[in-house]
Amino acid sequence: MINLIQIELFKLFSAYRTYITFAIALLLMLVINLGLYSDGEELFGFLLQSINDYFYIEGNVVNGYLIAYLALNTLWIHIPVLIIIVTANIFSGEFELGTIRLLLTQPITRTKLLIAKIISMIIYNFCFMLVIALSAIIPSVLLFGTGDVVVFIDGIQFIQESTFLSRFFNAIIFATMAMIAFSSITMYFALYFKNTLTAILLSLGILIIMTLLQTFVIGIFSSWQPYLFTFHIAKWQLLFVNEVPYKSILNSVYYLMAMSIFFIAISIFKFNRMNISE
């Protein structure tokens, strides 16, 4: 089993697309830093002008911690898109290249092979989110320094500098779980259709539709929210309020874990019953 995992990791980190996603993530963080470096003070001056009559705010408002927090908001679209590009290929690439038949002639079970691929998918997600975390926090702190963070969630939240890093890395851990859950959807589509592009398009379609449904919080749509993946992925933001609602966040953790387990289970079932010669 260990050899299988090593082989899958070798294939994963030998593919140019893996490093392209890392490079795009780094570039995205660079653009955010440069943009706020030039216009950050003016932007946040505009956002805070409505409360300047009631609060006196001093210090480094546009600081590295704030930039790192803003970078996490790319979790909505940009990060999932990059992750599923690699995830889809992990599972459908063997079918497209025709190497799956040769691979299954080896003395290994289909379940072990798929589990090895799933583990490589999870490791990729951890590596990708680590790149996001480090590229978000390190350059921004070097450029802007540190300070308290002003967050616009349910009004205005003032996050103390001393508590930010623990909140930030807890958010990264939560986001990693969310990305693994989303990757598991892509995994199932990749196995079902045996095509990388189809799996990517279907996964993006689900993400876009759920995001749109989540924006309609009135009437019948409001009752759908707890069943939407995007509703739970957004819970990382609650780690940046003064009174963190841990129960609500934990419920979303359970949802994401159940979602991952469900799609992994049906993917294993599908792969074991699949006619490879189709």
Report whether pLDDT(55) > 80. Answer: no
Residue 146 domain flag = yes
CA distance 33 to 40: 9
Cβ atoms of 248 and 258 within 8 Å: the answer is: no
Contacts of 129 (CB under 8 A, 6+ apart): 79, 172, 175, 176, 179
Q: Where are the beta strands (DSSP E) in 96-238?
A: 149-151, 157-159
Predicted local distance difference test score (pLDDT) of residue 46: 53
DSSP conformation class of 159 = E
pLDDT tens-digit map of 193-210: 888 899 999 999 988 888
Q: Which of 38-42, 59-63, 104-108 is predicted most confidently?
A: 104-108
Residue 158 lies in a domain: yes
32 vs 190: which has the higher pLDDT: 190
pLDDT for residue 40:
56
- Residue 200 within any structural domain of the chain: yes
Q: What whole-number distance in Å separates Cα of residue 154 and Cα of residue 205?
A: 29
Any idea which of 54-68, 96-110, 146-160 has the lowest mean pLDDT?
A: 54-68
Closest Cα partner for 21 from 156, 129, 183? Answer: 129
Does residue 278 sit within a domain? no
| Nearest residue to 175 (alpha-carbon basis) of 251, 123, 232 | 232
For residue 62, is it within any domain?
yes
Number of domains present in the structure of the chain: 1
Query: What is the rounded CA–CA span in Å between residue 116 and residue 199?
Result: 20
Q: Rounded to an integer, what distance in angstroms lies between the CA atom of residue 82 and that of residue 203?
A: 12
Q: What is the DSSP letter of 54?
A: T
- The conformation of residue 241, written as its DSSP 8-state character, comes to S
Do the beta carbons of residue 173 and residue 104 sit within 8 Å? Answer: no
Output the CA–CA distances (angstroms, integers) from residue 126 to 10, 13, 38, 160, in the order listed: 16, 13, 32, 27
Beta bridge partners of residue 159, listed in sequence order: 149
Number of helices followed by number of strands (H, E) in the chain: 10, 2
- pTM, two decimals, is 0.87
Would you say residue 153 has pLDDT above 80? no
Which residues span the domain enclosing 244? 2-273
226 has pLDDT over 90 = no
Mean pLDDT throughout 130-157?
81
- Tell whether the model's pLDDT for residue 121 goes beyond 60: yes
